[in-house]
């Protein structure tokens, strides 16, 4: 653990804690960060259902549909600062993810209410900006598109 000796407040010995960065380290104001683990493990679900809303965190890996039909999922509203990854597991048809009471703003600056996954794999990462806006660096292409303008 690279920052173990700089922990300000300890949660579990020197393995997990808060570190306050100086203005020289953070490039401005003093901020505190959780330090210790090499990475954070998020939930990965592989058995999503169109009958149940997708959670606004973690990874939804096996979004898919049977041949000849399009699956339509609904994603719960975003939590600011929390990431969500969506990925299609089938090449049988497009997968649509409706954003409940929310919109997605792409890196191109356009806003939409639905994400369309049309290629097997090619995950798309969404980041909650507010309780009604997801952000993504993705633009239309690479198996992704956005539907329903706001």
Contact status, residue 104 vs residue 149, Cβ threshold 8 Å: no
Global pTM reads 0.76
Summarize the confidence of residues 107-118 as an average pLDDT: 81
Give the Cα separation of 126 and 149 in Å (integer).
17
The whole-number pLDDT of residue 1 equals 43
Do 30 and 62 belong to one domain?
no
Do 103 and 73 belong to one domain?
yes
Do 96 and 137 belong to one domain?
yes
> Which CATH number characterizes residue 83's domain?
2.60.120.640
How many domains does the chain divide into? 2
Burial track 84-94 (b if 16+ CB lie within 10 A, e otherwise): bebbbbbebbb
Do 50 and 21 belong to one domain?
no
Bridge partners of 135? Answer: 105, 127
Do 27 and 63 belong to one domain?
no
26 versus 103: which is more confidently predicted?
103
Domain extent at residue 9: 4-35
Summarize the confidence of residues 57-82 as an average pLDDT: 82
Do 54 and 93 belong to one domain?
yes
Do 119 and 141 belong to one domain?
yes
Mind listing the pLDDT tens digit for each residue in 38-51?
Answer: 888 888 888 788 88
Place of tokens 């292409």: 141
3-state secondary structure of 142: coil
Do 95 and 117 belong to one domain?
yes
Do 30 and 52 belong to one domain?
no
SS3 content of the chain, % helix, strand, coil (to 5): 5, 45, 50
Do 57 and 10 belong to one domain?
no
């Amino acid at each position: 653990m690279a920052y173990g000796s700089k922990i300000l407040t300890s949660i579990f010995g020197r393995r997990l804690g808060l570190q306050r960065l100086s203005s020289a380290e953070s490039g401005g104001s003093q901020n505190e960060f959780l330090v210790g683990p090499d990475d954070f493990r998020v939930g990965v679900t592989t058995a999503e259902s169109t009958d149940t809303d997708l959670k606004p965190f973690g990874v939804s890996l096996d979004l898919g549909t049977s041949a000849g039909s399009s699956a339509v999922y609904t994603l719960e509203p975003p939590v600011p600062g929390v990431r969500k990854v969506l990925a299609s597991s089938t090449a049988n048809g497009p997968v649509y993810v409706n954003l409940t009471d929310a919109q997605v703003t792409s890196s191109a600056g356009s806003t939409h209410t639905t994400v369309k996954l049309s290629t097997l794999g090619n995950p798309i990462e969404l980041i909650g900006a507010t309780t009604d806006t997801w952000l993504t660096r993705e633009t239309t292409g690479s198996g992704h598109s956005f539907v329903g303008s706001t």
